[in-house]
Structure formats: C-alpha cells, structure tokens
Structure 1
Amino acid sequence: MAVKLGKPSRFLVGLGTTELADIQKQAITPDIYDQYLVGVGDGSWPTWNSPSGAYVQIVAKNADTMGAVPMFTLYQMASNGDGNLTGLSNTTFMKNYWNNVRLLFQQLKTYGKPALVNFEPDFWGYTQRASNNADPSTVFALVNIDADCSTLQNSVTGIAQCLMQIARKYAPNAYVGFPPALFGDLHTTALSYMQKLGADKADFIVMQTLDRDAGCFENTPQVSYCTRLDTPWYWDEANITSPNFKEHFALAKTYYQGLQLPVLWWQTPLGVPSSQFGSALKWRDNRVRYFLTHTSEMVAVGGIGAVFSPGEVNQTNINTDGGQFKTYSSSYLAKPTALP
C-alpha cells in the first residue's frame, strides 16, 4: 500500500491539523498530511471555499507542496453533537450527508493522485452501543435515498457499504479506512462489529490513540476540554504496568489479523514526556517518543504508519513541543523501518 501511495516501502510518518507554514518553518517533511472535513448543511466543509468543495483541492495542494499524501478525516456524523444519532433518520440531514460524501470523492477524482480518507471516527462506537454490541444492520439509517446507493439497506451496515461504493465509483485513486472505536467497554467486541460492517473491504485500518495529551486528562481539576473519568492516561514505556504500549499494540494486532488490512495510527498526541502534567498547549505525553523509537514494534503488528496531530486546540502542537517531533521524526527517517 505504501508503494501505491507513491511512498517508500518504510513505516510512514504524518502530521495532521497543522498549518503548512508551521511545518515548512521547521523543514519537516511528512509522508501524510491530514485535515478534517466537518459539518452537514450550513457552514459545513463544502462551504469553506468557492466553488463548493474547493477545500479538498487546497489541502491536496498543500500536501503536494510537502511531498505528502493528502488525508481527509470525514467527521460529518458529529454535526448534531458527539454521539447524537438522530440525524440517521432525518431525510434532510442524510441527503446533505451523502451529497457531501459524493462531492469529496468527485474532488479527489479531480485531484487524480493517491489520497487517504478516514471514515467517521467514534461514530461506529456510538452505533455499536446503539445496537447493544450486536449487529450494525439492526440500527436504522437512511441510505437508499441516495441514487448511488439505491439498492443498499437502510442501516448502519448500509452506511459503511455506501461510503465505500461512492469512493470506488468516483475516486479509484482514493484509499479508505474505518477506525474501530477504542471505547473501553467495546474492546472485546469492536473487531466483530467492524467485520459485520464490512470494514475488511476497505484499504486500511485507522488505529486511534488518544485525542488529547495524557497530561490534559491527568490535571486536577480537569479543564473543560479534558473531562473524562478513566485513568490512568500516561502509558508505561517499560511495558510493565497498565496501560502500556505493548497492550495497545496487541489490540492493534487483533484488528490487523481480523480484518487483514494494514494499520495506520491516527491523531497521535504530540505532548512531551515530563514528570509534570503540564498546561494548555504544553501538556505532557510520551507517544511521540515511544512510537518513533519503536517503529519496528508497530510494523510487527501490521503498522504502515502513524499520523501525529492535536485533537483539540489546547493540546501540544509542533510549535509548542520544543522541537520534539522534528527531532524524533528526523532521527527515525535517518534510519527507517522497512515494511514487509
């Protein structure tokens, strides 16, 4: 797959939700450049530039400037609120949803070069909960109202099939992937659910890490943009106490073996290791350090690459990490890990 993307056959390193100028300022050369596509209806991503959907070409051009493959994280299902599934039965919402999906892949066809698309992070976890960990075909969703998917089932299974069907029809140069939900209550059942979705018919698996730096959740009292009760958040680099990196890689391996697709880590936090939790824009984390010094472990569980990015505006970024990402990514690229 790396070769199909026009990249070397080595573990790939990407950046997301980061301005082109900031990347160029540090002379960083990412393999993948990721940006979100959000919203349905008024104010959604097709309206950000003119003509409609031109934002895709802007991101793709920026990626080309860096020699990177453009990646788009389609995040439209959260338009009504994270975990709100009421839009699935709303005709207006779903018609606009499918129109946006088609526009994305029409734009990627125009682009004409390889691109990556990440389908709806977290959405699949919320629908899994709605199905009581059973079958995505039991959760209703309007699908066959769209002309490109008129023969498909009106269900969450149908959504997954329609996303791939539109992608294959309009942009054969696009490679698509589904992100299994890493919600703690779904760890034992997420693989089965993704298999029932037909995620094995995609091109890669999107492996999520954490959408915030660990220190942001660890801080007491928790700030408004980091309020979750689970603990601990900082992974043990010695891989002795839980949670740790080997546990996470073992989970990734189950998806790799179960879906038989390469694994791409996405939205990996950029925080810097520290004994202190940190503060806004400088929260602590150790995933950059561990990931980029243990790439062989990631390849061994099916990894093709990792994309690093802040999942929220108050998280550590490449302008506030003291040059950590530049240092570790440069060191890795000087002695990269080959893909099998």
Structure 2
Amino acid sequence: MRTPRPLLLLLLLLTALTAAAPAAHASVPAGWPSDRLVLGARDEENGAGILRDATRLTARYHYLSGGSNTGAGWSKWTMGGGSFVSSFVNDSVAHGFLPVFSLYHLRETLPGAGMEEVAGFFANLENRDTMTSYLQDVRLFFQKAGETGQTSVLHVEPDLWGYIQRRGGAAETVQVATTGLSELAGLPNTAAGLAQAFVRLRDTYAPKVLLGYHLSVWGTGEDIALSDPSDERIDELAAASSAYYKALGAKFDLIFAEQSDRDAGYREVRDGDGGASFWTPEDFMRQARYLRGVSATTARSIVLWQLPVGNASQPNTPKHYKDNRVQTLLGSGGDAVRRAYVNAGVIGMLFGKALPDATCACDEDGDGQDDDGGLFKTLANAATAAGLEVLPGGPAKKPAKPVKTRTSAPVVAVKATVLAPRVGRGGNARVNVRLTARSTAQVVVAIQLYRPGAGTKPTYQVAFRGQRLRGGIPRTFKLSYAVPGGAQTGRWKVKVGLFDLNFKKLLVWRPAAAAFYVR
C-alpha cells in the first residue's frame, strides 16, 4: 500500500527538521508549566471551570483590548481598576491553567482608533498624552498580575512590532520617557524604549509574568505560506526578524508566532482567495524552518498562537468555516508535525478564533454543541492522553521536595464580608475574606460560592495556593464573580476552606461564612 502523499510529506517534514535541528535549543523559561508541549485555547472570563471539565489543556488565553482612553478598555472590565486581570488569573490557577493575556490595546486607543490601521498605530505612538494613558494601563496590568503572586503570560501587541520593523525599526519615534512615568525615566523615546519599558515595568511589579514578543508577518513583508520561498530565502527572513528583535534591546521571555487570523474557509468564502490559504504540508515545513532560525538566533522559545479551529467537516458558513490546522497538528500524523515544531523551538500551541464569524471551539451560535463540532477538544484530549512531546530545551528537573502535610488544624479567625448583599444578574459579586492565624501556617485558601440547591459542588471557586499566614497578622483575600445573565436567583452561600499545601486535607472549614442574594 502506498503512503498517501500528505502523510508522506509530513514524515519528510519530521525527518528534515530533526536532521537540521539546532545544536542548542532555547531554554524553556522559568515558570513555564510543563516540560512537555503545552496546548491551550481562548476562553472567556469565569470559564476555567467549564473548560477544565471538558479538556486536559494546560493554558487559556484572553485578549486585553478596548483602548486606554476610551472608557471601555480592559482596565474598566469586571469591577474596574484592572480587576479583570486578577479574576482571570485566579480563575485560571484555581482550575490548573496557565493564564495568558494578549494585549491588543494600542490599536483601539484614541486618536488612532479612528484612522487606517497602520497610520493609527503611529499616530498613537507619537502622541505623548496617548502613550501616557496607554503606559499607565500597562503599569496597572503588571501591578494587578503581580498582586496575585502567580505566573502568567503577557503577549505584547500583535502586529505592532511588525509595523515598526517595516517603517523605522528599533529607532522609530515613540513617546516613552516623555510620558512622565517615573519608572520609565531615562529610557529612549523610541520603539526600543517601548520594548524596554515593558521589561522594566514587569521587573518592577510582576517578576513572575512571562513577556511574549510578537513575531509578525508584517515585519518581513512576506508571508512564506503564500510566497513559497526557497530555504535560503527563509533563512534570510529569519535572520532579519532576529536582528530586529535583538536591536530592541529588551529581553522578552517568549516569542509568539501565528499562522493565520482566520480559518482558510473564511478567506475562501468571505475574502475570495480561491482556497489559497489552506496550508499544505510544505507550508508547515517552511514555517518550522523559519521559526527554528529565529529561536536559535534569539535563544527564545516560541508559542504558536491563535491557531484557527475550523475543520474539514464544516460547511463554510458563518461560525462554521473549514480549516486543516487542528487535524494536521492534533489528528492522525499530528505527532510528527508537533515533534518537528518542538525541534524548531516551539513549546506551546494556543488555539482560538480572532474574528466574530470565525469558527469557535465553543457554542457561540447557541445550538447546544461547540461550533467546530467538538473536534478540537476531542483531538486535544486524545493527544494529551497519548503523551505530548517532551521539550528538549527544558531545564534539568530537580527531584521534587515532598511537601510536608500539616496534621493538625491551625487556629485561624475567619471573617467573610460581601460588598453588596444583593447582586443583579450580570452584576459582580465581591467577597473579602480576612484571615488571622494564631501562629504561622502555610495553607491553600479556598473561597467558594454555592448557588441555591447546588449540593456539595461549588458553583465557583478561587484557590490561593501556597499562602503563608503569620501569627497575629491579618491577611485579606478577595473574590470577584461575574454573575451570569441566566444565574439562579435566591440566596447564594459563601464557604471558606483552608487546606494543606497539597490541597487534599481540609484543615479549617467555614460552611456559612457569608451569603448574598442574586435577583
């Protein structure tokens, strides 16, 4: 029996890229959640519990957008004051996900939001007032992310770095130090200064945040999936992209790369490209070669981001478009393709839609099943169960030190307060829990919400892991919950539990800590 041509080419892809793999792989950054390839998906606020029930994914991501001076930006979401960041991080960690944020904020900031895209970016970069409000929001992100004490990822401004590369490069004028933010004093008012500002603010407020630089096709001006360049040309493009990144003088932790911002069927039907956007095995080979060159030169690991989730069974109608990436990367023969990408420096693959009518691995059209037919979650779970690829650039694993399990319950005073006794559907329930221990205790603090008739399973939970309570010193833990529009009305209970560090043994339990009403 002859090997089908696509499968044969995928096997050749694996062989060629394994043979050409760089001698030294980029190190996996500290805090990365696994020594194997990480799979993740786009997800909504308060969605971690549902996503965990349906998948074995390791990461979830969400955009931060809306513009810094529009009154509708991400800093105003949830309860305002940047609370969306805290909520998304805590929800993710409580359910075993790495939280990832894609900051796409500058494009939607005024005055550039009302202009042609590229012109709007540069109008904003050159406007001192605009950049002041923008960088204040960036600072707020790091402050809120840092307060959680958890590892998260900030993927910085897709498209922006590519546009700058094509225009003026690292020396392009950007208002940075002139914004007056004290933390940014002395930085150059250039694109390099902007990149360095992200690193400085991260180092100041949230050292556990991993910074992701975006490797944009707009930077080279050539989409290698369409131009089908020679290997020599691919290597030239990788060298140019790497040189530009290095010229910024900012050490990001990760590099994010993409394949397309929409399903290939979307481009065929809506954009009229005649099917040119469906990737062939050779296209995957070319991208892996390009990424290998960038990763080896920059010494940075790579995350593939916003991979479309359409599949061959879709009818090419709104929210149901065809694509072949999910099946190529996760389906039959997908292990060969993933291994080739891992050998090229890829440590994560994040799947999700970018446009409103693109295919979603969720039930956006409300018919009771995921718009992609559930294929992404099925294949991702199967690939995870079979064993995802080991990352060759990972640090040597030290034997884990056993966590000492506390055998006696600490004496802790627990006081829970709801900020509003009545919350409407669509509103936010906020709870503060103040803990005062008699002596030092290391615990997991779990704040749980139970709808009427919920039984023993919480409707929503936030777990604060690895918390150190010092004797006589109060600590306050905060929960924010966006009450769904269809939430059950009536009396919701707040329960508080303190567990051992393994989150297995219950030490302190307050089943009637507080309550509020949903109306």
Q: Give 1:206's aligned residue.
A: 256
User: Are the counterparts in 1 of residues 49 and 95 from structure 2 also a CA contact under 8 Å?
Assistant: no
TM-fit CA distance, 1:230: 9.9
Which range is displaced more, 316-325 or 190-199?
190-199
**Paired residue for 1:311?**
354
Find the partner of 1:329 among 362, 380, 387. Answer: 380
2:285 corresponds to 1:246: yes
Q: Measured at CA, do residues 253 and 100 of structure 1 come closer, stay the same or move farther in structure 2, by a change above 3 Å?
A: same
Does the alignment pair 1:196 with 2:252? no
The one-letter code matched in structure 2 to 1:12 is V
Structure 1: tracts of 5 or more residues without a match: none
Match of 2:134 among 97, 100, 103: 97
Distance 1:3 1:258 in 2: 16
Residue 217 of structure 2: SS of its match in structure 1? Answer: coil
- Checking the alignment, whether the CA contact within 8 Å between 2:257 and 2:302 is kept in structure 1 is yes
What amino acid sits opposite 1:280 in the alignment? Answer: P
Indicate the SS of the match to 2:41.
strand
The match for 2:226 is: none
Instruction: Return the match for 2:312 from 273, 293, 297.
Output: 273
* C-alpha distance in structure 2 between counterparts of 1:229 and 1:127, whole Å: 27
What is the deviation of 1:255?
1.3
Question: Aligned equivalents of 1:176 and 1:208: distance in 2?
Answer: 16
Deviations 1:289-329 (A, max 9, x none): 22221221111100111010101121111121111111211
Q: 1:110 aligns with which of 130, 141, 147?
A: 147
Q: 1:40 to 1:271 in 2, by over 3 A?
A: same
Question: Partner of 1:185 in structure 2?
Answer: 221
Give 1:127's aligned residue: 164
Classify the secondary structure of the residue corresponding to 1:177: strand
Corresponding letter in the other structure for 1:67 = G
Q: In 2, are the aligned partners of 1:177 and 1:204 still within 8 Å (CA)?
A: yes
Q: Matches of 1:216 and 1:22 in 2, distance apart?
A: 30
Q: Does 1:148 align with 2:177?
A: no
User: Structure 2: how far apart are the matches of 1:22 and 1:67?
Assistant: 9
**Residues 151-166 of structure 1 correspond to what in structure 2 (within 5 A)?**
151-166=186-201
Larger RCO (CA within 8 A; separation ≥ 6): 1
- CA pair 152-70 structure 1, distance change in 2 beyond 3 A: same
Checking the alignment, whether the CA contact within 8 Å between 1:14 and 1:308 is kept in structure 2 is yes
Give me the CA root mean square deviation. Answer: 2.2
Q: Which has the larger radius of gyration?
A: 2
Partner residue of 1:40 out of 41, 51, 68: 68
- In the alignment, the residues of structure 2 paired with residue 231 and residue 147 of structure 1 have an alpha-carbon distance, to the nearest angstrom, of 51
User: Which residue is 1:234 aligned to?
Assistant: 278
The change in CA–CA distance for 1:166 and 1:25 in structure 2 (over 3 A counts) is: closer
Residue in structure 2 matched with residue 282 of structure 1 by the alignment? 320
**How does 1:43-82 map onto structure 2 within 5 Å?**
43-79=72-108, 80-81=112-113, 82=117
Shift of 1:51: 4.0
Q: CA 1:326–1:34 in 2, change beyond 3 Å: closer, same or farther?
A: same
Cα offset, 1:95, TM superposition = 0.6
Quote the offset at 1:35 in angstroms. 0.7
Hey, what's the Cα distance between the residues in 1 that align with 2:43 and 2:258? 15
Cα separation, 2, equivalents of 1:277 and 1:182? 29
Aligned residues: 323
Q: Note if contact 1:218-1:277 (Cα within 8 Å) is conserved in structure 2.
A: no
1:136 aligned partner = 170
Distance 1:215 1:246 in 2: 21
Alignment of 1:9-48 (within 5 A): 9-18=35-44, 20=47, 23-24=50-51, 27-38=54-65, 39-41=67-69, 42-48=71-77
Question: How far off its partner does 1:50 sit?
Answer: 2.0
Residue 229 of structure 1 deviates from its aligned partner by: 6.3
User: What TM-score results when the alignment is normalised by the length of structure 1?
Assistant: 0.89
Structure with bigger strand share is 2
Q: Which runs of 5+ in 2 are unaligned?
A: 1-26, 224-236, 362-369, 393-519
Contact 2:98 2:151 in 1 (8 A): yes
User: Which is richer in helix?
Assistant: 1
Shift of 1:71: 0.6
